[in-house]
């Protein structure tokens, strides 16, 4: 890998970390950047999973105290995310990619619409929260995150905004932490069994760590409604890109 490609991946990693925390769409930057650097689709996929782990580390280090208000729930969700990451990584390594990627654009599009319709959906739910449905959803999305991951952040946000009463900034922080856990366990499996491009993962990981660190204070200062609309529209754009790529 050339020095220029290494620097490009650091910059792309920073953008991925920042965009990933703010919108949940880190892979819309990181995955194409890895392909542009010359990696094959499979190698870019597993390298992307490894490289995005620092996003969760950076954001959790920046605002970790806000996550600790309900430690028991956080531990339970973390375990579900880890188990989902293991299952998703195993599926990737033993099955053809086409068997799962066919439904990916539809999942991302559905989640993006849910983000856009969040106020209406929350009114339907009233003041009720649906923790069991939320936990099942976290496990399912963690499987997807361990398998492919592009758009997983948007799906996490949709689940949190619709099934819980979390404000957008806390939903973003929870999303980054849980996706970080799912990515971490999948990355450990890929480190042993997958074709990780370690130089590319290092370069992008450096940028992702910095981007994840700067994400939380930015989100807390942004108005939630315009940000939610941007996330939903960007998610629909990612769904179209995934469908035609």
Taking only the tens place, the pLDDT of each residue in 142-162 is 998 888 766 777 788 788 878
Query: Which are the contacts of 94, defined by CB distance < 8 A and separation ≥ 6?
Result: none
Residue 83 has pLDDT above 90, yes or no: yes
> Rg (Cα) of the chain, in Å, rounded?
16
Torsion 185-186-189-190 (CA) sign = negative
Quote the pTM value: 0.76
pLDDT, tens only, 20-35: 766 666 777 788 888 8
For the chain, give every domain's residue range. Answer: 3-244
Choice between 26 and 13, residue whose per-residue pLDDT is larger: 13
């Amino acid at each position: 890998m050339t020095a220029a490609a290494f620097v490009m991946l650091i910059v792309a990693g920073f953008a991925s970390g920042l965009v990933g925390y703010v919108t949940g769409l880190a892979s819309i930057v990181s995955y194409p950047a890895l392909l542009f650097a010359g990696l094959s689709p499979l190698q870019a996929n597993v390298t992307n999973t490894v490289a995005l782990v620092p996003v969760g580390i950076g954001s959790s280090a920046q605002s970790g105290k806000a996550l600790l208000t309900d430690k028991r729930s956080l531990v339970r969700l973390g375990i579900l995310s880890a188990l989902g990451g293991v299952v998703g990584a195993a599926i990737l390594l033993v099955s053809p990619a086409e068997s799962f990627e066919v439904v990916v654009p539809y999942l991302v599009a559905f989640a993006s619409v849910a983000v856009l319709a969040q106020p209406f959906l929350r009114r339907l739910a009233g003041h009720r929260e649906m923790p069991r449905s939320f936990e099942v959803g976290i496990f399912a999305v963690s499987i997807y995150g361990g398998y492919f991951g592009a758009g997983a952040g948007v799906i996490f946000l949709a689940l949190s905004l619709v099934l819980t009463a979390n404000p957008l900034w806390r939903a973003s922080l929870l999303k980054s932490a849980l996706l970080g856990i799912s990515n971490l366990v999948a990355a450990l499996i890929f480190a042993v069994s997958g074709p990780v491009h370690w130089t590319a993962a290092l370069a992008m990981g450096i940028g992702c760590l910095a981007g994840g660190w700067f994400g939380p204070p930015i989100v807390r200062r942004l108005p939630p409604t315009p940000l939610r609309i941007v996330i939903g529209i960007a998610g629909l754009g990612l769904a179209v890109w995934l469908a035609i790529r």
